[in-house]
Amino acid sequence: MHHGNHFYGHAHVLAGYCGLDPDAPPRIDGYLQHGWNVVDGLGAGTPYAPGRPIFVWSQRTRRRAWSMGRPLATVIGSPFLYLLRSTPDEAVADGSREGTIWYPFHGWEGQKVSGDHHRLIDEITATEPGPVTFCLYWNEFQDSRIRALYERAGRVICHGYRGYMRMRTDHRFLHHQLAELRRHRRVASNRLSTAILYGTAAGCDPAVYGDPMYLDREHTPTADRIRREWPELHGAAPDPEKARATVLAELGDGHLAAPAELRAILGWVTT
């Protein structure tokens, strides 16, 4: 089905959870939500074949899909939660968490981000209480000019390449991300994003502040709605417990399927 099912190694994570080969996940019979989504679970511009199921992370996303005329939406929870719950956290045992992992708002192949990175970095270094790791998305990481700005302010990393058309996918992307999140006490960004949700679920205190920058041709009302609808996740020091409750609901906590059930849902049952 759609190549986006492999983004960030999502299909690979779910295959491993189901007891299948994580290096060669079977074809998912439908569309798998590949990032936090404030509409129907599909990425913007995703070509949809009518009548095919959509596998979404949360009840809220499923209700939006229904309201948009896509009733074949099934809640399974996010692949990240499956990985989180099945991977021991060594940082909890030795208390080694420190500093902040910061995710600057990023673009992608089809849209570029513009903004003042110098001003954002100044605000970050003035706000964060400990060492900062800057995690750049792959396209900003490849831009030596942008990467150099952040390297002057702290450690700079990249979790890997998301993948495209099932090519060059780093199917350990979520594993890299989870390991880094568990090294840090805080997770922060200048926009509320998937990474903030993942970090909060992984035990980091969240923060969303700073110049939100501008995404080429973005739908401004959607960006405004996100800031308005999730105030408990915005600011330099949101209440961690309130933020965590919201995050777990958005990621589908309580809706994770057992391995045999998930195989059946995704069409991975052989006869």
pLDDT at 115: 85
Over pLDDT 90: what percentage of the chain?
Answer: 71
DSSP letter for 32, please.
E
CA angle 31, 35, 39 (to 5 degrees): 75
Parallel, antiparallel, or unpaired: how do β-strands 113-114 and 214-215 relate? antiparallel
DSSP letter for 9, please.
G
**CATH number of this structure's domain 90-250, picked from the four choices 3.40.50, 3.10.450, 1.10.760, 2.60.120:** 3.40.50
Are 213 and 39 in contact by the 8 Å Cβ rule? The answer is no
Of the candidates 212, 234, 235, 250, the one whose C-alpha atom is nearest the C-alpha of residue 106 is: 212
SS3 26: coil
- Report the C-alpha gap between 6 and 93 in whole angstroms: 32
Mean per-residue pLDDT over the chain, rounded: 91
- Report the C-alpha gap between 20 and 17 in whole angstroms: 7
Does the global pTM surpass 0.75? yes
Are 203 and 89 in contact by the 8 Å Cβ rule? The answer is yes
Token code pair at residue 115: 């903004």
pLDDT band of 92, cuts 50, 70, 90: low
Contacts 24+ apart (CB under 8 A), 138-146: 138/162, 139/106, 139/107, 139/108, 139/109, 140/104, 140/106, 140/107, 140/113, 146/117
Of the candidates 40, 78, 43, the one whose C-alpha atom is nearest the C-alpha of residue 60 is: 40
Average pLDDT of span 14-31: 95
Instruction: Using the predicted structure, report yes or no on whether residue 93 has a pLDDT greater than 60.
Output: no
Contacts (Cβ under 8 Å, ≥6 apart) of 25: 6, 11, 12, 14, 15
| Residue count of the chain | 271
User: What pLDDT, in 10s, does the model give residues 41-61?
Assistant: 987 777 788 889 999 999 999
Where along the chain do its domains lie? 3-78+252-265, 90-250
Instruction: Using the predicted structure, report yes or no on whether residue 208 has a pLDDT greater than 50.
Output: yes
- Biggest distance spanned by C-alpha atoms of the chain: 60
H helix and E strand count, the chain: 12, 10
Please indicate whether residue 45 or residue 156 has the higher confidence score (pLDDT): 156
Find how far residue 180's CA is from the centre of its chain. Answer: 13
Contacts (Cβ under 8 Å, ≥6 apart) of 72: 30, 51, 52, 53, 54
